[in-house]
Amino acid sequence: MGRDIPPQLLTDAAPADAYRPHLDAGTLWVVDDGAGPVAFLAGMVLGDRLHVDELDVRLDRQGKGFGRRLLAHAAAWARERGLRRMSLTTFRDIPWNAPFYASAGFRDWPEDEAPATIRQALMNERGRGLKGRCAMVMDL
């Protein structure tokens, strides 16, 4: 587990400005437990789906349901707007990645069935040295 994850993915964070488009679009949700932010989900509407660009939960707060609540909130938001699906790309074999998303209702999305935006995202991720990536989709 984790052998194909570049170490910086576990320690480095994108600058806050990277999420400005999500904030402006109304698709950035943050969980604050009263002592500060503990989790966030950044999504983007692409056609008939909400694509999850990032879902992060602080390491010391994982396993407390914050990620599931964010996914449920984003799914409800997407349904209210008539979107039909949610999508994401993630690591296939890391427990807190694809197996977690599968337990939340996502399923594997074979590249040959996925839209061009998903295929391009996977190609870009491979180009950055990320191995074992997959696409997932959930019908709303």
**Rounded distance between C-alpha atoms, residue 39 and residue 13, angstroms:** 13
Would 89 be classed as within a structural domain? yes
Would 21 be classed as within a structural domain? yes
Supply the mean pLDDT for the chain: 90
Place of tokens 């396993």: 63
* Average pLDDT of the segment spanning 75-103: 95
Q: Cα dihedral sign for 60, 62, 63, 66?
A: positive
Would 63 be classed as within a structural domain? yes
0.85 surpassed by pTM: yes
pLDDT confidence tier of residue 88, bands split at 50, 70 and 90: very high
Would 128 be classed as within a structural domain? yes
Q: Could you read off the pLDDT of 1-40 as tens digits, one per residue?
A: 445 555 544 445 677 788 899 999 999 999 998 888 999 9
Contact call for residues 92 and 134 (beta carbons, < 8 A): yes
Range of the domain at 104: 8-139
Give the count of beta carbons closer than 10 Å to the beta carbon of residue 27. Answer: 21
The predicted structure's pLDDT at residue 1: 40
